[in-house]
Amino acid sequence: MVCAVGLGVAGLLALGVGLPLAYAADGPNSGELLEGLGAEVGHRLDPRVAEVLPRIDGGGRRLLALRSYLRSSDRLAERWSWTQEQIAAYEGSPEHRELLGEIVKVREAFARESPGYDLWVNPQVRSLDRQLESWNTNESVTAAAQELSTTVDALVNSPSFPANDARDARKALEACLDGFRPTSIPTVAAPGLSPHGQMRAVDFQVHHGDQIVAGPRTATIATEWNAAGWAVKLDDAVRKASSRFITLDLSARKHATRTGR
């Protein structure tokens, strides 16, 4: 996809007269320009976004995360993953006990329908550090980040990009990020935004003895979860046993979200 900037008269004039030398010679140094703009967008969104961006590897992944932050900007504060202190406070709380109780009910319902198979759940809150680690290494993120990099590079290097007007440049970048639709959809949430970061969701696995029959990897969902029928069985167990979970059909049924919290 292409992000274009309207070639307004003001933009043209500004490009003609006020262009910094470094940009005029050979087109803008888009890497540096983008880093500055990205940091500025993050800073305006939330201090936690500004803090997390430098911990993301590669400009493309940073832009892709920034896109998620922009698109969730009105819910950032409410959705942002818990700190270690908040995680510690949650563990052992009545809310946590209630969640564990719901999980037991779902596991029992599942085992009744599929004797010999066990539904396994990771009971841990997914910390920001772990979310960063998976964002920095996940292949679907890498692919989407490359695609976004190409799109944003084209924007910044286009003659109509208001490189010398910080405000217009930022707005053009924001519009581009907001409108970008990756062909490779990232299978993990941008760091800080995972529903697992506030235990709003849990991921299930199907075990048979010590063998993982349907696992957590998104790449195997089509074969392990859908074709083998485990997605439907998990969905059934969740519906029968718990009013506090719904299974998501997003990329996977393996992932259930809590309701009414």
Indicate the residue among 233 and 253 with the shorter CB distance to Zn ion: 253
Residues in the interface with Zn ion (CB under 5 A) total 2
Indicate the residue among 28 and 197 with the shorter CB distance to Zn ion: 197
Q: Torsion angle, CA of 173/176/177/179, rounded to 10 degrees?
A: 160
CA distance 204 to 256: 8
- Residues 5-24 as x/- pattern, contact with Zn ion by CB under 5 A: --------------------
Indicate the residue among 10 and 232 with the shorter CB distance to Zn ion: 232
- Residues 148-187 as x/- pattern, contact with Zn ion by CB under 5 A: ----------------------------------------
Give the H or E element holding residue 207. Answer: strand 201-208
- Compute the least distance from the CB of residue 111 to Zn ion, in Å: 21
- Compute the least distance from the CB of residue 194 to Zn ion, in Å: 7
Report if residue 203 touches Zn ion, rule: CB under 5 A. yes
Buried b / exposed e over 205-227, threshold 16 CB at 10 Å, is bbeeeeeebbbbebebbeebbee
Indicate the residue among 208 and 217 with the shorter CB distance to Zn ion: 217
DSSP, res 190: P
Of 165, 178, 154, residue with least CA distance to 4? 154
Indicate the residue among 118 and 203 with the shorter CB distance to Zn ion: 203
Which region, judged by CB under 5 A, interacts with Zn ion, from 26-34, 39-47, 81-89, 248-256? 248-256
Contacts of 45 by beta carbon, 8 Å cutoff, 6+ apart: 69, 70, 73, 76
Q: Output the residue with the shortest Cβ distance to Zn ion.
A: 255
DSSP, res 163: T
- Compute the least distance from the CB of residue 93 to Zn ion, in Å: 21
Report if residue 248 touches Zn ion, rule: CB under 5 A. no
Binds Zn ion by CB under 5 A, chosen from 61, 233, 255, 258 = 255
- Compute the least distance from the CB of residue 250 to Zn ion, in Å: 9
Of 153, 188, 189, residue with least CA distance to 173? 153
Indicate the residue among 62 and 255 with the shorter CB distance to Zn ion: 255
Residue 191 near residue 46 (C-beta atoms within 8 A): no
Which residues lie near Zn ion (CB under 5 A)?
A: 203, 255
